[in-house]
Amino acid sequence: MTQKSFIQFMAVKMLLVSSAYALDLENSPEAEIRKNQPLAVTTSASISSNLYKNSSSDYSLNSDIAIDPSLTLENGTTLIGHISLYKDLRGERKEQLNDAYLGGIKTIYRQGPTSISFLGLGFLPLSELSYKDQKLQTAIMLAPTFNLSLEELVIPGLRVSLRPSFRQNFHKFKTSLSGNSNFERTLSTSLTLTYYATEAVLLTSRNTYSRSYTYNGNETDSYRFEQSFTYLFTARASVTIGHLNGGNPLAANGIDTEIQFLNRRSSTVYTSVSYTF
């Protein structure tokens, strides 16, 4: 895989995993609001950068504004949506839409500290990378989620979620206009640890491993680690600071494994604020 194609692959991968993380409704600070308020809209604004010095030509600084509406039906199904606008704060300072999604999530089992929910999503290719270069027409994602609250078992405030997921892409062509192979499908497994240290302090660790397949059957693996600290001003307003890093688990020689939690070239740090109406 060329460096250009890998960067392109990671851009899609980061968006996919971010979408899955944004759907952690059961353990999100807004969960209690959704229980008592069928219609809710969460708005957020974030700033992110890599770890290069701001004088470096490789330094990046970006902003993102997102809107996440949700509607809980009488049968317990929650309809969800997501749309966001990305802007590069250096260089051309160009604004671009990210891919959006619509879908639903429903808890299908709940007994004591355990629950199982099922997520279904349909993606709208609004980003230039998706609709212009890759010619993505749409995509679907299906994912069960297994939740375990360790409140009474081990550590008060600790919750664990395991989410295997399957994403199927539908492209017009097998290769992008830039000559890279498009990915037909992706299998991922995400493990999320959520710890409410206090009623106002939330610590989260999200870890994902994915395998993507091209239309010709070639495989590419990727991983992503994310850690975040959230402070809740109220049940509706919060601020989060975090770090994430990901990439190909294979070293440059293509044989050895090289998984890193922190890397100056690939790590991203971010700050975001959100409010739920």
pLDDT tens for each residue of 152-191: 677 888 999 999 999 999 999 999 999 999 999 999 999 9
* Res. 270 pLDDT band, cuts 50 70 90: very high
Asked whether the predicted pLDDT for residue 4 surpasses 90, the reply is no
CA atoms within 13 A on the CB side of 256: 6
Of the two residues 80 and 251, the one the predictor is more confident about is 80
pLDDT computed for residue 16 by the predictor: 43
Of the two residues 262 and 207, the one the predictor is more confident about is 207
What is the CATH topology of the domain spanning 3-276?
Porin (2.40.160)
Domain boundaries, the chain: 3-276
pLDDT computed for residue 10 by the predictor: 43
CA-to-CA distance for 22 and 125, rounded, in angstroms?
18
- Residue 93 Ramachandran class (φ > 0 left, ψ -120 to 50 alpha, else beta): left
pTM value?
A: 0.86
CB 262 within 8 A of CB 245: yes
CB 205 within 8 A of CB 196: no
pLDDT computed for residue 247 by the predictor: 85
pLDDT computed for residue 140 by the predictor: 96
Distances (CA, A) of 212 to 4, 98, 216, 250: 17, 20, 11, 14
CA-to-CA distance for 65 and 222, rounded, in angstroms?
26
* Res. 113 pLDDT band, cuts 50 70 90: confident
pLDDT computed for residue 55 by the predictor: 84
